Protein backbone atom coordinates (compact mmCIF):
# COMPACT_ATOMS: atom_id res chain seq x y z
CA UNK A 1 0.00 0.00 0.00
CA UNK A 2 1.35 3.41 -0.99
CA UNK A 3 0.98 6.29 1.48
CA UNK A 4 2.66 9.61 2.16
CA UNK A 5 5.00 7.76 4.52
CA UNK A 6 5.47 4.78 2.19
CA UNK A 7 5.77 6.23 -1.33
CA UNK A 8 5.24 4.10 -4.40
CA UNK A 9 8.51 2.57 -5.66
CA UNK A 10 9.44 3.02 -9.31
CA UNK A 11 11.33 0.94 -11.84
CA UNK A 12 12.60 1.40 -15.38
CA UNK A 13 12.83 -1.62 -17.68
CA UNK A 14 14.94 -1.14 -20.79
CA UNK A 15 13.85 -3.59 -23.47
CA UNK A 16 10.31 -3.92 -22.13
CA UNK A 17 8.36 -4.60 -25.34
CA UNK A 18 8.53 -8.40 -25.19
CA UNK A 19 10.06 -11.45 -23.54
CA UNK A 20 11.77 -11.17 -20.17
CA UNK A 21 11.56 -7.37 -20.16
CA UNK A 22 7.79 -7.34 -20.60
CA UNK A 23 7.33 -10.10 -18.02
CA UNK A 24 9.58 -8.31 -15.52
CA UNK A 25 7.71 -5.01 -15.99
CA UNK A 26 4.40 -6.77 -15.35
CA UNK A 27 5.85 -8.54 -12.29
CA UNK A 28 7.17 -5.30 -10.83
CA UNK A 29 3.81 -3.60 -11.43
CA UNK A 30 2.09 -6.46 -9.63
CA UNK A 31 4.44 -5.87 -6.69
CA UNK A 32 3.39 -2.23 -6.47
CA UNK A 33 5.95 -0.45 -8.65
CA UNK A 34 5.24 2.31 -11.11
CA UNK A 35 7.03 1.18 -14.25
CA UNK A 36 8.76 3.03 -17.09
CA UNK A 37 8.65 0.92 -20.25
CA UNK A 38 11.54 1.66 -22.60
CA UNK A 39 11.94 0.08 -26.06
CA UNK A 40 11.70 0.80 -29.78
CA UNK A 41 8.18 -0.51 -30.53
CA UNK A 42 5.73 2.19 -29.53
CA UNK A 43 2.60 0.19 -30.37
CA UNK A 44 3.70 -2.77 -28.31
CA UNK A 45 4.70 -0.59 -25.36
CA UNK A 46 1.31 1.13 -25.43
CA UNK A 47 -0.43 -2.25 -25.33
CA UNK A 48 1.62 -3.38 -22.34
CA UNK A 49 1.10 -0.09 -20.51
CA UNK A 50 -2.65 -0.27 -21.11
CA UNK A 51 -2.75 -3.83 -19.76
CA UNK A 52 -0.78 -2.85 -16.65
CA UNK A 53 -3.00 0.15 -15.95
CA UNK A 54 -6.18 -1.86 -16.55
CA UNK A 55 -5.02 -4.30 -13.88
CA UNK A 56 -3.34 -1.96 -11.41
CA UNK A 57 -4.77 1.50 -11.98
CA UNK A 58 -3.85 4.69 -13.85
CA UNK A 59 -0.35 6.11 -13.67
CA UNK A 60 1.29 2.74 -13.10
CA UNK A 61 3.02 2.48 -16.49
CA UNK A 62 4.65 5.06 -18.74
CA UNK A 63 5.98 4.59 -22.26
CA UNK A 64 9.33 5.86 -23.59
CA UNK A 65 10.20 5.03 -27.18
CA UNK A 66 13.96 4.63 -27.51
CA UNK A 67 16.46 2.69 -29.61
CA UNK A 68 19.28 1.59 -27.28
CA UNK A 69 21.82 1.81 -30.10
CA UNK A 70 21.27 5.60 -30.04
CA UNK A 71 23.30 5.94 -26.87
CA UNK A 72 23.56 9.74 -27.12
CA UNK A 73 19.79 9.92 -26.58
CA UNK A 74 19.79 7.81 -23.42
CA UNK A 75 20.51 10.65 -20.91
CA UNK A 76 17.54 12.72 -22.12
CA UNK A 77 15.18 9.73 -21.97
CA UNK A 78 16.51 8.88 -18.53
CA UNK A 79 15.96 12.39 -17.22
CA UNK A 80 12.45 12.46 -18.66
CA UNK A 81 11.37 9.21 -17.05
CA UNK A 82 13.00 10.20 -13.78
CA UNK A 83 11.06 13.48 -13.78
CA UNK A 84 7.82 11.69 -14.65
CA UNK A 85 8.20 8.97 -12.01
CA UNK A 86 9.57 11.30 -9.35
CA UNK A 87 12.02 8.67 -8.15
CA UNK A 88 13.77 5.50 -9.31
CA UNK A 89 14.46 2.38 -7.25
CA UNK A 90 15.21 -0.25 -9.90
CA UNK A 91 16.78 0.01 -13.35
CA UNK A 92 16.80 -3.22 -15.36
CA UNK A 93 18.56 -3.53 -18.72
CA UNK A 94 17.07 -6.36 -20.74
CA UNK A 95 17.53 -5.29 -24.37
CA UNK A 96 19.38 -7.93 -26.35
CA UNK A 97 20.16 -9.02 -29.89
CA UNK A 98 21.42 -12.31 -31.26
CA UNK A 99 21.90 -12.79 -34.98
CA UNK A 100 22.45 -16.17 -36.67
CA UNK A 101 26.10 -16.76 -37.54
CA UNK A 102 27.37 -19.74 -39.56
CA UNK A 103 30.48 -21.58 -38.39
CA UNK A 104 32.41 -20.29 -41.41
CA UNK A 105 31.00 -16.75 -41.24
CA UNK A 106 32.96 -13.72 -40.03
CA UNK A 107 30.67 -10.72 -40.41
CA UNK A 108 31.72 -7.56 -38.61
CA UNK A 109 28.42 -5.82 -39.30
CA UNK A 110 26.52 -8.55 -37.44
CA UNK A 111 29.09 -8.43 -34.64
CA UNK A 112 28.75 -4.66 -34.40
CA UNK A 113 24.96 -4.84 -34.21
CA UNK A 114 25.06 -7.34 -31.36
CA UNK A 115 27.63 -5.40 -29.34
CA UNK A 116 25.74 -2.14 -29.93
CA UNK A 117 22.65 -3.55 -28.22
CA UNK A 118 24.04 -6.08 -25.76
CA UNK A 119 27.04 -4.13 -24.51
CA UNK A 120 27.16 -0.46 -25.48
CA UNK A 121 23.46 0.14 -24.91
CA UNK A 122 23.75 -1.59 -21.56
CA UNK A 123 26.72 0.52 -20.50
CA UNK A 124 24.94 3.73 -21.48
CA UNK A 125 21.89 2.95 -19.34
CA UNK A 126 23.62 1.22 -16.43
CA UNK A 127 26.04 4.14 -16.08
CA UNK A 128 23.08 6.50 -15.76
CA UNK A 129 21.47 4.34 -13.11
CA UNK A 130 24.75 3.82 -11.27
CA UNK A 131 25.44 7.55 -11.00
CA UNK A 132 21.94 8.23 -9.67
CA UNK A 133 21.94 5.36 -7.21
CA UNK A 134 25.40 6.23 -5.89
CA UNK A 135 24.20 9.78 -5.18
CA UNK A 136 21.07 8.59 -3.41
CA UNK A 137 22.95 5.72 -1.72
CA UNK A 138 20.20 3.29 -2.63
CA UNK A 139 18.82 1.48 -5.65
CA UNK A 140 19.04 -1.76 -7.60
CA UNK A 141 20.62 -2.31 -11.00
CA UNK A 142 19.79 -5.41 -13.05
CA UNK A 143 21.63 -6.58 -16.13
CA UNK A 144 20.10 -9.45 -18.10
CA UNK A 145 23.07 -11.25 -19.58
CA UNK A 146 23.24 -14.90 -20.68
CA UNK A 147 24.90 -18.22 -19.93
CA UNK A 148 26.58 -17.58 -23.30
CA UNK A 149 28.87 -15.06 -21.62
CA UNK A 150 30.55 -17.71 -19.47
CA UNK A 151 32.65 -19.23 -22.25
CA UNK A 152 33.73 -18.48 -25.82
CA UNK A 153 31.80 -20.98 -27.94
CA UNK A 154 32.46 -21.62 -31.63
CA UNK A 155 28.90 -20.87 -32.69
CA UNK A 156 28.52 -17.28 -31.54
CA UNK A 157 31.81 -15.43 -30.92
CA UNK A 158 30.46 -11.87 -30.87
CA UNK A 159 27.32 -12.74 -28.90
CA UNK A 160 29.45 -14.56 -26.32
CA UNK A 161 31.83 -11.59 -26.18
CA UNK A 162 29.01 -9.08 -25.77
CA UNK A 163 27.60 -10.97 -22.78
CA UNK A 164 31.02 -11.66 -21.25
CA UNK A 165 31.76 -7.94 -21.39
CA UNK A 166 28.41 -7.18 -19.75
CA UNK A 167 29.16 -9.71 -16.99
CA UNK A 168 32.51 -8.09 -16.23
CA UNK A 169 30.99 -4.61 -16.29
CA UNK A 170 28.24 -5.60 -13.87
CA UNK A 171 30.77 -7.19 -11.53
CA UNK A 172 32.86 -4.02 -11.57
CA UNK A 173 29.79 -1.88 -10.88
CA UNK A 174 28.89 -4.19 -8.01
CA UNK A 175 32.35 -3.88 -6.50
CA UNK A 176 32.22 -0.10 -6.86
CA UNK A 177 28.65 0.49 -5.67
CA UNK A 178 28.21 -2.01 -2.84
CA UNK A 179 29.96 0.39 -0.45
CA UNK A 180 27.29 2.98 -1.32
CA UNK A 181 24.36 0.73 -0.49
CA UNK A 182 23.54 -0.05 -4.14
CA UNK A 183 22.62 -3.59 -5.22
CA UNK A 184 23.76 -4.93 -8.61
CA UNK A 185 22.27 -8.15 -9.99
CA UNK A 186 23.63 -10.13 -12.94
CA UNK A 187 21.06 -12.43 -14.54
CA UNK A 188 22.22 -15.33 -16.72
CA UNK A 189 19.27 -17.00 -18.43
CA UNK A 190 19.54 -20.21 -20.39
CA UNK A 191 16.96 -20.84 -23.10
CA UNK A 192 13.86 -18.68 -22.68
CA UNK A 193 10.84 -18.79 -24.97
CA UNK A 194 11.46 -15.42 -26.62
CA UNK A 195 12.30 -14.12 -30.08
CA UNK A 196 16.00 -14.89 -29.49
CA UNK A 197 15.24 -18.60 -29.22
CA UNK A 198 14.70 -18.88 -32.98
CA UNK A 199 18.46 -18.37 -33.51
CA UNK A 200 19.44 -21.19 -31.16
CA UNK A 201 20.58 -24.31 -33.08
CA UNK A 202 19.25 -26.48 -30.27
CA UNK A 203 17.37 -25.71 -27.07
CA UNK A 204 16.62 -27.51 -23.82
CA UNK A 205 15.37 -26.59 -20.37
CA UNK A 206 13.30 -23.89 -22.07
CA UNK A 207 11.40 -21.68 -19.61
CA UNK A 208 8.80 -18.97 -20.03
CA UNK A 209 9.64 -15.27 -19.72
CA UNK A 210 7.34 -15.21 -16.70
CA UNK A 211 9.45 -17.82 -14.89
CA UNK A 212 12.62 -15.85 -15.63
CA UNK A 213 10.94 -12.66 -14.40
CA UNK A 214 9.87 -14.35 -11.18
CA UNK A 215 13.43 -15.56 -10.59
CA UNK A 216 14.71 -12.02 -11.14
CA UNK A 217 12.13 -10.53 -8.81
CA UNK A 218 13.00 -12.98 -6.04
CA UNK A 219 16.70 -12.28 -6.56
CA UNK A 220 16.01 -8.55 -6.18
CA UNK A 221 14.19 -9.19 -2.93
CA UNK A 222 17.04 -11.35 -1.64
CA UNK A 223 19.70 -8.95 -3.02
CA UNK A 224 21.45 -11.79 -4.83
CA UNK A 225 24.55 -10.93 -6.85
CA UNK A 226 24.40 -13.44 -9.72
CA UNK A 227 21.67 -15.86 -10.70
CA UNK A 228 21.16 -18.44 -13.40
CA UNK A 229 17.62 -19.02 -14.58
CA UNK A 230 16.58 -21.74 -14.34
CA UNK A 231 18.93 -22.45 -11.45
CA UNK A 232 20.15 -25.80 -12.85
CA UNK A 233 22.18 -23.84 -15.40
CA UNK A 234 24.49 -22.81 -12.57
CA UNK A 235 25.73 -26.37 -12.13
CA UNK A 236 25.99 -27.02 -15.86
CA UNK A 237 27.98 -23.82 -16.46
CA UNK A 238 30.27 -24.64 -13.51
CA UNK A 239 31.19 -27.81 -15.37
CA UNK A 240 31.51 -26.06 -18.74
CA UNK A 241 33.72 -23.31 -17.31
CA UNK A 242 36.15 -25.97 -16.08
CA UNK A 243 36.41 -27.99 -19.30
CA UNK A 244 40.05 -27.67 -20.44
CA UNK A 245 40.49 -25.47 -23.49
CA UNK A 246 42.02 -28.24 -25.62
CA UNK A 247 38.79 -30.20 -25.17
CA UNK A 248 36.37 -27.27 -25.29
CA UNK A 249 37.63 -26.06 -28.66
CA UNK A 250 36.65 -29.38 -30.24
CA UNK A 251 33.00 -29.04 -29.23
CA UNK A 252 30.43 -28.09 -31.86
CA UNK A 253 28.22 -25.67 -29.89
Which entry of 33, 64, 93, 159 is annotated as an active-site residue?
159
C-alpha 190, offset from chain centre: 13
- 190-197 long-range contacts (CB < 8 A, ≥24 apart) are 190/147, 190/228, 190/229, 190/230, 190/233, 192/19, 192/20, 192/229, 194/18, 194/19, 194/20, 195/18, 195/19, 196/19, 196/96, 196/97, 196/98
159 included as an active-site residue: yes
Structural element, H or E, at residue 13: strand 10-14
CA 236 – CA 171 distance, rounded (Å): 21
Burial of 35: CB neighbours in 10 Å, binned 0-12, 13-18, 19+: buried
CB 205 within 8 A of CB 232: yes
Nearest to 144 by CA among 10, 17, 40, 24: 24
Nearest to 92 by CA among 45, 38, 50: 38
CB 59 within 8 A of CB 33: no
| Catalytic residue annotation | 159
Amino acid sequence: MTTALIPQPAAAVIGASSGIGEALARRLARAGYAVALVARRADRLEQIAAAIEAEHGPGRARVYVHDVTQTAEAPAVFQRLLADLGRLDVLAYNAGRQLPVALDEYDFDKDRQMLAVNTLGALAWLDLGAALFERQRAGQLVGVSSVAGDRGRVGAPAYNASKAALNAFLEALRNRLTRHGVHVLTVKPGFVDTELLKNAPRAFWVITPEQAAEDIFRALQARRQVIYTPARWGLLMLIIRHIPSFIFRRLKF
